[in-house]
């Protein structure tokens, strides 16, 4: 079982940083898909109160439960402080969506013991995993 398979098999809670309540946004569509497949979605966006029936939080530090995966829908330049927060709260993994990378911050996350997936879509990888089962 590879890293992504292991992560998707064992994770239960996904905090989605940059999750929008607008159904036409990729963040909403990806989060809704993951929620439909049994993951608990935690919206992290200071502009959102409730998304997909879940209470939203302004920052990762505000989330009162353990986060298995921090799924990031923000520009690459915004990644370092998100990774710093993920490290501080003891998240299990960072997942940077398609076209999102920050090699220095990713290295910092790995050094802190987090699993890092970058420039990949969690929905696509999950769907691929289901096809291969």
Provide the residue ranges of all domains of the chain, joining segments of one domain with +. Answer: 3-131
- Examine the pLDDT at 126 and tell me if it is beyond 70: yes
Candidates 38, 16, 14; CA nearest to 92 is: 14
For residues 80-89, give the mean pLDDT.
98
Q: For residues 94 and 112, is the Cβ–Cβ distance under 8 A? A: no
pTM of the model: 0.96
pLDDT in tens, 50-72: 999 999 999 999 999 999 999 99
For residues 20-25, give the mean pLDDT.
97
Candidates 30, 33, 32, 39; CA nearest to 10 is: 39
Average pLDDT taken over every residue of the chain? 96
Domain 3-131's class? alpha beta
């Amino acid at each position: 079982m590879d890293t992504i398979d292991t992560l998707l098999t064992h994770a239960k809670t996904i905090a989605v940083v940059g999750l929008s309540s607008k159904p036409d946004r990729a963040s909403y569509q990806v989060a809704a898909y993951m929620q439909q497949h049994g993951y608990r979605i935690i919206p992290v966006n200071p502009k959102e109160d409730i998304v997909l029936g879940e209470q939203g939080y302004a920052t990762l530090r505000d989330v009162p439960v353990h986060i298995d995966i921090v799924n990031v829908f923000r520009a690459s330049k915004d990644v370092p402080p998100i990774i710093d927060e993920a490290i501080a709260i003891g998240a299990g993994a960072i997942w940077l969506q398609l076209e999102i990378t920050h090699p220095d911050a990713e290295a910092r996350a790995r050094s802190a013991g987090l699993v890092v997936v970058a420039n990949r879509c969690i929905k696509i990888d999950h769907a691929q995993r289901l096809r291969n089962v």
